[in-house]
Structure 1
Protein backbone atom coordinates (compact mmCIF):
# COMPACT_ATOMS: atom_id res chain seq x y z
CA UNK A 1 0.00 0.00 0.00
CA UNK A 2 3.06 2.29 0.06
CA UNK A 3 2.42 5.33 -2.12
CA UNK A 4 -1.28 4.68 -2.61
CA UNK A 5 -3.26 7.89 -2.03
CA UNK A 6 -6.10 7.66 0.48
CA UNK A 7 -8.65 10.43 0.17
CA UNK A 8 -9.60 11.54 3.65
CA UNK A 9 -10.74 15.02 4.63
CA UNK A 10 -9.71 16.54 7.91
CA UNK A 11 -10.82 19.98 9.16
CA UNK A 12 -7.59 21.35 10.60
CA UNK A 13 -9.37 24.41 11.98
CA UNK A 14 -11.12 22.17 14.53
CA UNK A 15 -7.77 21.05 15.95
CA UNK A 16 -5.78 22.84 18.67
CA UNK A 17 -2.30 22.26 17.28
CA UNK A 18 0.21 19.68 16.14
CA UNK A 19 -0.38 17.37 19.09
CA UNK A 20 -4.12 17.11 18.42
CA UNK A 21 -3.39 16.55 14.70
CA UNK A 22 -1.03 13.71 15.56
CA UNK A 23 -3.54 12.10 17.93
CA UNK A 24 -6.31 12.34 15.30
CA UNK A 25 -4.15 10.72 12.60
CA UNK A 26 -2.92 7.97 14.94
CA UNK A 27 -6.58 7.12 15.64
CA UNK A 28 -7.54 7.24 11.94
CA UNK A 29 -4.72 5.06 10.63
CA UNK A 30 -3.87 2.89 13.67
CA UNK A 31 -0.11 3.36 13.21
CA UNK A 32 2.61 5.17 15.15
CA UNK A 33 3.18 8.58 13.50
CA UNK A 34 5.61 11.33 14.41
CA UNK A 35 6.43 14.86 13.30
CA UNK A 36 9.53 17.07 13.55
CA UNK A 37 11.43 16.20 16.77
CA UNK A 38 8.66 14.17 18.45
CA UNK A 39 9.60 10.49 18.33
CA UNK A 40 6.59 8.84 19.98
CA UNK A 41 2.97 8.61 18.93
CA UNK A 42 0.60 9.63 21.71
CA UNK A 43 -1.64 6.61 21.23
CA UNK A 44 1.01 3.89 21.14
CA UNK A 45 2.92 2.01 23.80
CA UNK A 46 5.18 4.44 25.72
CA UNK A 47 8.72 4.26 24.40
CA UNK A 48 7.64 2.75 21.08
CA UNK A 49 9.34 4.43 18.12
CA UNK A 50 7.14 5.79 15.36
CA UNK A 51 7.27 3.96 12.04
CA UNK A 52 5.86 6.87 10.01
CA UNK A 53 6.56 10.59 9.74
CA UNK A 54 4.07 13.33 8.87
CA UNK A 55 4.89 15.75 6.04
CA UNK A 56 2.85 18.31 4.14
CA UNK A 57 2.79 20.02 0.77
CA UNK A 58 2.76 23.82 0.99
CA UNK A 59 1.31 26.37 -1.43
CA UNK A 60 4.54 26.38 -3.48
CA UNK A 61 4.40 22.61 -4.00
CA UNK A 62 7.32 21.91 -1.63
CA UNK A 63 7.13 18.99 0.81
CA UNK A 64 7.93 20.10 4.37
CA UNK A 65 8.13 18.44 7.77
CA UNK A 66 5.06 19.00 9.91
CA UNK A 67 6.02 20.94 13.04
CA UNK A 68 8.76 23.04 11.44
CA UNK A 69 6.65 26.22 11.41
CA UNK A 70 4.17 27.69 13.91
CA UNK A 71 0.68 26.14 13.80
CA UNK A 72 -0.98 29.29 12.39
CA UNK A 73 1.50 29.47 9.49
CA UNK A 74 0.99 25.76 8.86
CA UNK A 75 -2.79 26.26 8.65
CA UNK A 76 -2.39 29.01 6.06
CA UNK A 77 0.04 27.10 3.83
CA UNK A 78 -0.87 23.38 3.96
CA UNK A 79 -2.45 21.81 0.86
CA UNK A 80 -1.90 18.07 1.44
CA UNK A 81 -0.71 15.84 4.25
CA UNK A 82 1.41 12.76 3.63
CA UNK A 83 2.24 9.96 6.04
CA UNK A 84 5.51 8.43 4.88
CA UNK A 85 7.50 5.50 6.19
CA UNK A 86 10.36 6.73 8.37
CA UNK A 87 12.95 4.88 6.28
CA UNK A 88 11.73 6.63 3.08
CA UNK A 89 12.45 10.16 4.36
Structure 2
Protein backbone atom coordinates (compact mmCIF):
# COMPACT_ATOMS: atom_id res chain seq x y z
CA UNK A 1 0.00 0.00 0.00
CA UNK A 2 1.49 3.43 -0.91
CA UNK A 3 2.54 5.61 2.00
CA UNK A 4 0.18 8.45 1.01
CA UNK A 5 -2.81 6.12 1.08
CA UNK A 6 -1.78 4.82 4.48
CA UNK A 7 -1.50 8.37 5.88
CA UNK A 8 -4.84 9.39 4.38
CA UNK A 9 -6.52 6.40 5.99
CA UNK A 10 -5.26 7.19 9.47
CA UNK A 11 -7.72 9.78 10.86
CA UNK A 12 -5.36 10.94 13.64
CA UNK A 13 -2.38 11.75 11.42
CA UNK A 14 -4.08 12.52 8.15
CA UNK A 15 -5.29 16.03 9.03
CA UNK A 16 -2.09 17.04 10.81
CA UNK A 17 0.11 15.67 8.04
CA UNK A 18 -1.90 17.48 5.37
CA UNK A 19 -1.67 20.76 7.30
CA UNK A 20 2.12 20.47 7.67
CA UNK A 21 2.53 19.53 4.00
CA UNK A 22 0.26 22.39 2.92
CA UNK A 23 2.15 24.87 5.11
CA UNK A 24 5.51 23.72 3.71
CA UNK A 25 4.28 24.04 0.11
CA UNK A 26 2.82 27.48 0.83
CA UNK A 27 6.08 28.69 2.43
CA UNK A 28 8.04 27.39 -0.54
CA UNK A 29 5.76 29.19 -2.98
CA UNK A 30 5.97 32.43 -0.99
CA UNK A 31 9.77 32.23 -0.92
CA UNK A 32 9.86 31.64 -4.67
CA UNK A 33 7.44 34.50 -5.33
CA UNK A 34 9.49 36.79 -3.09
CA UNK A 35 12.63 35.93 -5.04
CA UNK A 36 10.93 36.56 -8.35
CA UNK A 37 9.72 39.98 -7.23
CA UNK A 38 13.25 40.92 -6.13
CA UNK A 39 14.89 40.05 -9.43
CA UNK A 40 12.97 40.66 -12.61
CA UNK A 41 13.48 37.91 -15.10
CA UNK A 42 12.73 39.71 -18.37
CA UNK A 43 13.21 43.43 -18.78
CA UNK A 44 12.23 45.37 -21.88
CA UNK A 45 15.00 47.13 -23.76
CA UNK A 46 14.39 50.07 -26.10
CA UNK A 47 17.07 51.45 -28.42
CA UNK A 48 16.81 54.97 -29.78
CA UNK A 49 15.83 54.85 -33.45
CA UNK A 50 14.44 51.30 -33.36
CA UNK A 51 10.66 50.91 -33.24
CA UNK A 52 10.50 47.43 -31.70
CA UNK A 53 11.48 46.80 -28.08
CA UNK A 54 13.33 43.65 -27.13
CA UNK A 55 13.69 41.87 -23.78
CA UNK A 56 16.67 40.61 -21.84
CA UNK A 57 16.67 37.91 -19.13
CA UNK A 58 18.70 39.36 -16.26
CA UNK A 59 18.82 36.06 -14.38
CA UNK A 60 20.86 34.57 -17.25
CA UNK A 61 23.54 37.26 -16.82
CA UNK A 62 26.30 37.51 -14.22
CA UNK A 63 26.95 41.24 -14.28
CA UNK A 64 27.21 44.47 -16.25
CA UNK A 65 29.76 43.11 -18.73
CA UNK A 66 27.39 40.27 -19.65
CA UNK A 67 24.54 42.79 -20.01
CA UNK A 68 26.60 45.01 -22.32
CA UNK A 69 27.64 42.04 -24.46
CA UNK A 70 24.06 40.73 -24.63
CA UNK A 71 22.70 44.15 -25.66
CA UNK A 72 25.39 44.53 -28.32
CA UNK A 73 24.40 41.12 -29.77
CA UNK A 74 20.70 41.94 -29.51
CA UNK A 75 21.00 45.16 -31.51
CA UNK A 76 23.86 44.17 -33.84
CA UNK A 77 26.40 46.51 -32.27
CA UNK A 78 30.05 45.60 -31.85
CA UNK A 79 31.94 47.40 -29.10
CA UNK A 80 29.69 50.47 -29.21
CA UNK A 81 28.38 50.26 -25.63
CA UNK A 82 31.69 50.79 -23.86
CA UNK A 83 32.16 53.73 -21.52
CA UNK A 84 32.71 56.90 -23.57
CA UNK A 85 31.40 55.24 -26.74
CA UNK A 86 28.67 56.55 -29.04
CA UNK A 87 25.87 54.87 -27.05
CA UNK A 88 24.92 54.86 -23.37
CA UNK A 89 22.75 52.44 -21.41
CA UNK A 90 20.26 53.96 -18.98
CA UNK A 91 17.41 52.45 -17.03
CA UNK A 92 14.20 53.41 -15.30
CA UNK A 93 14.20 52.30 -11.66
CA UNK A 94 11.30 51.26 -9.45
CA UNK A 95 10.63 54.91 -8.54
CA UNK A 96 10.52 56.10 -12.16
CA UNK A 97 13.94 57.77 -12.09
CA UNK A 98 16.30 57.41 -15.04
CA UNK A 99 19.83 56.36 -14.15
CA UNK A 100 22.97 55.29 -15.99
CA UNK A 101 23.64 51.56 -15.86
CA UNK A 102 26.60 50.57 -13.70
CA UNK A 103 26.15 52.88 -10.74
CA UNK A 104 24.58 50.28 -8.44
CA UNK A 105 25.87 46.82 -7.50
CA UNK A 106 24.54 44.22 -9.97
CA UNK A 107 22.09 42.57 -7.56
CA UNK A 108 20.68 45.95 -6.53
CA UNK A 109 20.34 46.95 -10.20
CA UNK A 110 18.38 43.74 -10.87
CA UNK A 111 15.98 44.63 -8.06
CA UNK A 112 15.50 48.23 -9.21
CA UNK A 113 15.37 48.06 -13.02
CA UNK A 114 12.01 48.33 -14.76
CA UNK A 115 13.09 49.18 -18.33
CA UNK A 116 16.41 49.63 -20.11
CA UNK A 117 17.09 52.24 -22.79
CA UNK A 118 20.00 52.64 -25.17
CA UNK A 119 20.41 56.29 -26.15
CA UNK A 120 23.13 58.17 -27.96
CA UNK A 121 25.68 59.49 -25.50
CA UNK A 122 24.83 63.02 -26.69
CA UNK A 123 21.14 62.56 -25.85
CA UNK A 124 22.00 61.24 -22.38
CA UNK A 125 24.24 64.27 -21.75
CA UNK A 126 21.43 66.61 -22.85
CA UNK A 127 18.92 64.82 -20.61
CA UNK A 128 21.38 64.97 -17.73
CA UNK A 129 21.97 68.70 -18.10
CA UNK A 130 18.23 69.44 -18.22
CA UNK A 131 17.45 67.13 -15.29
CA UNK A 132 16.39 68.62 -11.95
CA UNK A 133 18.72 66.18 -10.18
CA UNK A 134 21.79 65.77 -12.40
CA UNK A 135 23.42 63.68 -9.70
CA UNK A 136 21.05 60.86 -10.68
CA UNK A 137 23.11 60.51 -13.85
CA UNK A 138 26.63 59.22 -13.62
CA UNK A 139 29.28 60.22 -16.10
CA UNK A 140 31.93 57.64 -16.95
TM-score range, shorter chain: 0.7 to 0.9
- In structure 2, the CA distance between the partners of 1:5 and 1:82, relative to structure 1 (3 Å rule), is farther
Unaligned ranges ≥5, structure 2: 1-46, 125-140
Which one of 66, 69, 74 corresponds to residue 20 of structure 1?
Answer: 66
Structure whose residues are more often helix by fraction: 2
Normalised by the length of structure 2, the TM-score is 0.50
Give the Cα–Cα distance (whole angstroms) in 2 for the partners of residues 2 and 19 of structure 1: 21
RMSD: 1.7
Kindly state the Cα deviation for residue 51 of structure 1 after the two structures are TM-superposed.
1.1
Q: Mark the structure with the bigger radius of gyration.
A: 2
| Corresponding position of 2:107 | 72
Give the Cα–Cα distance (whole angstroms) in 1 for the partners of residues 50 and 123 of structure 2: 14
| Corresponding position of 1:33 | 81
Comparing 67-76 with 4-13, greater Cα deviation is found at 4-13
Answering whether residue 93 of structure 2 is matched by residue 58 of structure 1, we say yes
Q: Is the Cα–Cα contact under 8 Å of residues 48 and 118 in structure 2 kept in the other structure?
A: no
Runs of 4+ aligned structure 1 residues displaced above 3 Å come to 1-5
Unaligned ranges ≥5, structure 1: 40-49
Deviations 1:11-62 (A, max 9, x none): 101101000000011111122113xxx34xxxxxxxxxx2100000000000
Normalised by the length of structure 1, the TM-score is 0.76
Secondary structure in 2 aligned to 1:10?
strand
